[in-house]
Amino acid sequence: GNFALSRDFVTTDEDVEQQPTQHTVTTQTDYRESETQTDPFSPEYVHQPGITPSELLQLAKLTSGHGLPAGLAEVEMIERMRAKRAWEATLPPVNDLSQFDKRVRMMKEMEAKERAFREQEIQKLQEARSALLMYK
């Protein structure tokens, strides 16, 4: 068996000399790379009434560029959320009238703690703003 290639598959020296060795290809777009970047996929979900959403669903408001990737402030917020859920689990049931006063007292104490925390956060922001204005 002789094996022969047709003329279309044989490269001669004169074919190589006629073809350029490099090709330059460029593209021009109207968009910058940062404008074309999309948020990572977030599947749709349904929150069923009466069922406490999972920790993951409670964090759904954090999105790429808005809380993610998580920094120190977001980690602290997550820890406060966890502590609040643990506290809520210790509350007496709403329908237990014998412990209603205890429930109200516990809720008022928590509201006072949350108010103090918010006031502290506002104070920190005001101090940072003052420092920035003094620096200018």
Q: Is the pLDDT of residue 9 over 60?
A: no
| 17 domain residue, yes or no | no
| pTM of the predicted model as reported, rounded to 2 decimal places | 0.57
Structure-token pair, residue 40: 């990572």
Long-range contacts of 50-54 (CB under 8 A, 24+ apart): 52/85
Gap between the Cα atoms of 59 and 71, Å rounded:
14
Banded pLDDT at 87 (limits 50, 70, 90): very high
Please indicate, yes or no, if residue 115 is contained in any of the structural domains. Answer: yes
What are the residues facing 66 on neighbouring strands? 63
Q: Residue 95: inside a domain, yes or no?
A: yes
DSSP letter (8 states) at residue 48:
P
Which range of residues forms the domain containing residue 94? 69-135
Q: Is residue 15 part of a domain?
A: no
Number of domains within the chain: 1
What pLDDT does 38 receive? 66
Dihedral sign, CA of 27, 29, 35, 36? Answer: negative
Domain assignment of residue 105, yes or no: yes
- How far apart, in Å, are the Cα atoms of 43 and each of 39, 54, 114? 12, 15, 32
Residue 124's closest CA among 72, 61, 87, 81?
A: 72
**pLDDT (tens digit, 9 = 90+) per residue, 13-22?**
555 556 667 7
Confirm whether 36 is domain-assigned.
Answer: no
